[in-house]
């Protein structure tokens, strides 16, 4: 969609001012950011690991594509490998790799979001500008995008398509993976939005559905059961229906589906986090290092 010149000028001014104040203008909604449909730059640099091929440039005509420091790439490679290990240990299967390839391609360029792993046979893409200026997003975003590849391994978008709205499932579980791997999230709203607005519909919550998935695996209590996420994805693979799969796992694990959702809604308003819950759910950090569990406890205290 093209914007009138006046609006573009205003947005550009806001973007420049934010960059001056914070050192980083957010990539989502950035006026002159490339879209995912823009041509790929040429990548003169490559770094290989056991499961990934990472490509980047420092010679693009669009300076926002460029990453000068190769250490950023090497650190990201380590983050991806650590997430790979965590996923394969819990789920017992590997993230999806495109046919004919034995590694996942990862590219860095200027896009209009922190990262994307769609389509399944394409590369994982990370936003170069965000990666350079916002170190706090690197670990959780790496885990998030790789988790989409794990979703593909269970047939999502490779053998079956979800029913709209579905981002509460696709983005919500990928947000859960950020916490599972790192105890961090790339945006504060993924943890606190459902508590700030307790009327928000879960099925419209996309990445902010994260607290539901923490509740689903009992992460807000002393003994989480992360294997429930394995059971859920296996049900999705079997039924090709993410909502029906969720209801079946809830019924098998907790009993009444309606009762489970009513309890979740009650906990959204009061006493969500137990004082004895375990790592990584005990302290979830935002990209700037804020303890978001403490923030949610504070929000709930003020609401009482």
- Number of Cα atoms under 13 Å in the Cβ half of residue 197: 11
Tell me how far apart the alpha carbons of residues 269 and 304 are, in angstroms, rounded to a whole number: 8
3-state class (DSSP) for residue 244: helix
pLDDT tens, residue by residue, 89-142: 999 999 999 999 999 999 999 999 999 999 999 999 999 999 999 999 999 999
pLDDT tens, residue by residue, 46-87: 999 999 999 999 999 999 999 999 999 999 999 999 999 999
The answer to whether 270 and 277 are in contact (CB under 8 A) is no
pLDDT value of residue 241: 97
171 class by beta-carbon count within 10 Å (0-12 exposed, 13-18 middle, 19+ buried):
buried
pTM of the entire structure?
A: 0.88
Q: Where are the domains of the chain?
A: 41-135, 160-304
- Give percent of the chain above pLDDT 90: 79
∠ CA 130-134-137, rounded to 5° = 90
Q: Which of 34, 31, 27, 32 is nearest to 11 (CA)?
A: 31
pLDDT value of residue 277: 85
Distance of CA 28 to the CA centre of its chain: 14
Tell me how far apart the alpha carbons of residues 265 and 276 are, in angstroms, rounded to a whole number: 21
CATH topology of domain 41-135: Zincin-like (3.30.2010)
């Amino acid at each position: 969609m093209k914007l009138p010149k006046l609006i573009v000028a205003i947005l550009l001014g806001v973007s420049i001012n934010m960059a001056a104040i914070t050192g980083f203008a957010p990539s989502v909604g950035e006026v002159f950011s490339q879209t995912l449909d823009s041509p790929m730059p040429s990548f003169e640099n490559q770094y290989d690991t056991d499961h990934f091929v990472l490509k980047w440039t420092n010679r693009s005509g669009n300076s926002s594509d460029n990453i000068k420091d190769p250490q950023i790439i090497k650190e990201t490679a380590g983050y991806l490998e650590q997430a790979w290990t965590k996923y394969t240990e819990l789920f017992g299967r590997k993230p999806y790799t495109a046919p004919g390839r034995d590694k996942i391609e990862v590219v860095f360029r200027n896009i209009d979001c922190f990262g994307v792993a769609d389509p399944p046979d394409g590369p994982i893409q990370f936003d170069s500008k965000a990666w350079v200026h916002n170190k706090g997003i690197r670990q959780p975003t790496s885990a998030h995008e790789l988790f989409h590849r794990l979703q593909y391994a269970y047939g999502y978008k490779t053998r079956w398509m979800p029913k709209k709205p579905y981002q509460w499932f696709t983005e919500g579980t990928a947000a859960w993976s950020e916490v599972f791997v790192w105890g961090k999230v790339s945006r504060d709203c993924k943890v606190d939005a459902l508590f700030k607005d307790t009327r928000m519909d879960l099925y419209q919550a996309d990445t902010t559905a994260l607290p539901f998935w923490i509740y689903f695996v009992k992460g807000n209590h002393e003994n989480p059961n992360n294997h429930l996420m394995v059971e859920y994805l296996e049900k999705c693979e079997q039924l090709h229906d993410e909502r029906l799969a969720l209801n079946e796992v809830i019924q098998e694990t907790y009993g009444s589906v309606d009762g489970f959702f009513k309890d979740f809604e009650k906990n959204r308003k009061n006493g969500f986090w137990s004082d004895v819950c375990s790592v990584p759910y005990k302290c979830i950090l935002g990209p700037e290092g804020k303890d978001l569990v403490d923030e949610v406890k504070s929000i709930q205290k003020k609401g009482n």
